[in-house]
Structure 1
Amino acid sequence: MDKIENHYHHCASCRHFGFREQDGKKQPMCTRLGYDTLPHYQFNCWNPKPRVKMAMQKKRRKMLLNRKK
């Protein structure tokens, strides 16, 4: 895992991160695994949201351009 991916790798940026109602409160959860989670947790099954993938690609391109200079 590279630096950029490590920066974004957490549940809140995963496409499976969601919420469920419990006792009138929103409980964060992984909709794929069915586990309760928190936004800052990290799991190996991480699958970034499309906007996160685009942000990572943009950052990688910027880093590559800076290296060539």
Structure 2
Amino acid sequence: MIDRNTSDHQIFELDLAAHESQRRTEILAALGESWDPVAVLEGEDEAYRLLYSGLDAEQQATYDMLVAAEVLPGPGRA
């Protein structure tokens, strides 16, 4: 942390890199050793596929419009 006073204002700097590193370490520890990020992403893709399967023609047209407008991710990009 650096604290410098100038005649007009005070400059305050804080390096958050160490805090971010600690935060990420704690997250990974909380997830545990059995956490498999590839399996999680595959599960999300499967859930996304199921969510948008079986649409009628009007729903499919709306879905396609939203994907084209990049409001929704396309298939396989959940």
- TM score, norm. by length of structure 1: 0.29
Q: Please state which structure has a larger fraction of its residues in helix.
A: 2
Structure whose CA Rg is larger: 2
